Structure 1
Amino acid sequence: MNDFQFQNTTKVYFGKDQLGHLHGEVLKYGKSVLVVYGGGSIKKIGLYDKVIKELKENNIEVYELAGVEPNPRHTTVNKGAKICKDNHITSILGIGGGSTIDASKAIAALTLADTDNIWDLVEKKVAWNNALPVLAMPTIASTGSEMDKSCVIANVEKGVKSGINGDILRPKAAFLDPTNTFSVSAKQTACGGFDIMAHLFDMNYFVNSDKYPLQFNVVQTLLRTVREQLPIAIKEPENYAARATMLWVASWALNSFCTSGYKTQAQLHALEQFSSTYDMTHGLALAIITPKWMTYLLNKDETVVADFARFGLNVMGIQDQGDDMANAKAGIVALQSFIKDELHLPTSLSEVGINDEKFDELKVKACYGQDALPRAYRSLSQKDCLNIYKMCL
């Protein structure tokens, strides 16, 4: 196990009756807050009114940034930071999905940086080491950004997604109310759930290193929990137990505990270049790629057989086929069926109207401009990435 430091400083308020603590958290840092949200779903479910009332009744000055995109754009972050600078705002509250919370983190860092463009921080043209305090209120079980120290931003001018990270970006407090996820559509619930699985695959389960029993077994349990609870949340959107479980799993998938001692690989997330290029849902793209990636590796590298067999048996719950290769193949089939029949998601790019026109461009991005994907679970060249993309058609 590699040396590591672990400190997650996010205070979590979990449950239906925690909103009354919001003003106290905001007032720790000052008397003003920028409320960041997306397309307005928080208004439809009544959450917006509750939050604004809670803040204003406690004499907190409220500013707003609405319309954050599903893949938050760097221009939106720049706009939010300008609001904060112009009005001397003392904290930021991100309400919504991971994109909104990621945007809030980026705004927090940019506000205190010596530039007006977040991409200067992403490209390390401008140093930064401080940020406004961020509070998070997720309304979907997905990225786990509410306890994480990273953020990802899309630069549509360059056609790339990248980000910044640092402990200072970790939200000071997170308000996790499962009832705020009741209105999330079946498709978005499924996409968010698969994003959770991909985080667990990338951060711990499929890594090119020793498996550390504590972290690995926790991750395997989290994966199995998603497999069991996600279909329930899709079928019964107001099932509190299922929604609560998914929301809590999302936070644990990315709160740094599961990655402690590991050098993370994030191979699937590197391959997933479609959401920034085509503005498609990140979790959906991962759901299309993952079974094809597994199949490709299984045919290319026999050293993955044991890992994929364990996945089939211990996560997907397949019947033991008698040998590792058969179990590995059955596990991939079970995953594909899970995506199609229980999550009701497309399983190919052609189903969502994407062809191979930009594959040559995407393979370069997947490898970060290098000949092969660095620190990969297994070695993948640009040609390998291209072949996987073709399998996704």
Structure 2
Amino acid sequence: MSSELPVLRWGIIATGLISSWFVKDLALSRPDAKAKHIIQAIGSSSSEKGKAFAEKHLPGLQPTIYPSYEEVYNDANVDIVYIGTPHAFHKQNCLDAIRAGKHVLCEKSFTLNAKDAKEVFNAANTKNVFVMEAMWTRFRPLTLALRKMIHEDKAIGDVRRVLCDFGLHQDIAALGPESRLKNPALGAGSLLDIGIYSLTWGLLTLDAGTGTTAQNPKILAAQSLESGVDLASTMILLYPNGAQGILTSATYAKSPKPFCRIEGSKGVITVEGPAASMPTSFTVEPKEGEVQTHDFSAPGMGFYYEADAVALNITASKTEDDIMPWAETTRVLELLDEVRNQGGVKFPHEN
């Protein structure tokens, strides 16, 4: 068996903030790396933008810069395409990359709705390529350890209630009409941008299952809208055993560092971090016994955990990941669809 790390050559689509975080993390030198990641190509709306992106975020590296996405899809030296465009473009970007025979890692939310996601997965199945939603939070060692502690070790007994909030002060009113945070045609609103994380924490902590093995909770939702965009969303999940998830997102103010509280029959767990997307520690407070804090600080931001998982999956000739399988992406989007159905948000292409 070879001890060499698998090598994955990435083509990066779009040069916004999320793409900058992703490539900087992939370029980090890590002793525990499970794969070698090469930023092979960058696609942008212009060569100048692509070159400036590479110089700023990948100093000393020389990826191929393309003034279009299509050239990235057609580059024979690119194994996988990372899609960091606004939500509304994800479906078409995925379909174009898949058509070119490329593997895909696409930012969340994977598409605007479950129907579009199913279309992408059907295309991937036909082409036999690996596709995954880039829900990076699920791949963090903290998340995996927390899930084990809750569902296998029963550290706080039976989970009865979970509260999670992801709030950012985004000052939506001050943004221009074409901002991805303000334009409904781009999937704007707190729900798909940050509410998806609050929902994810509810699902991860209330249910040991994933995708086809998960339960289907009832959902009650309300949204505060302005010009068709949700400034705040609230979701209540109700499970058959009576457990509840109260999950919120808002653009009015930043959440405090303890963003999630998991209440069980034998104690409480509090999860902390700069944001619900980036947990760094959790504290277990049992009704009997010592309070314990588990710290999971790591270099960079932690996008490399999902990237390593992708590389190992592709090396194993898998088209789906066990942590974020296609059925789980679809299930999350179906829940988000229902939140919007109850809350009143409809995207232009759905009319």
Sort the TM-score into its range (normalised by shorter chain): 0.3 to 0.5
More strand by share: 2
TM, length-normalised to structure 1: 0.32
Compute the TM-score of the two structures, normalised by the length of structure 2: 0.35
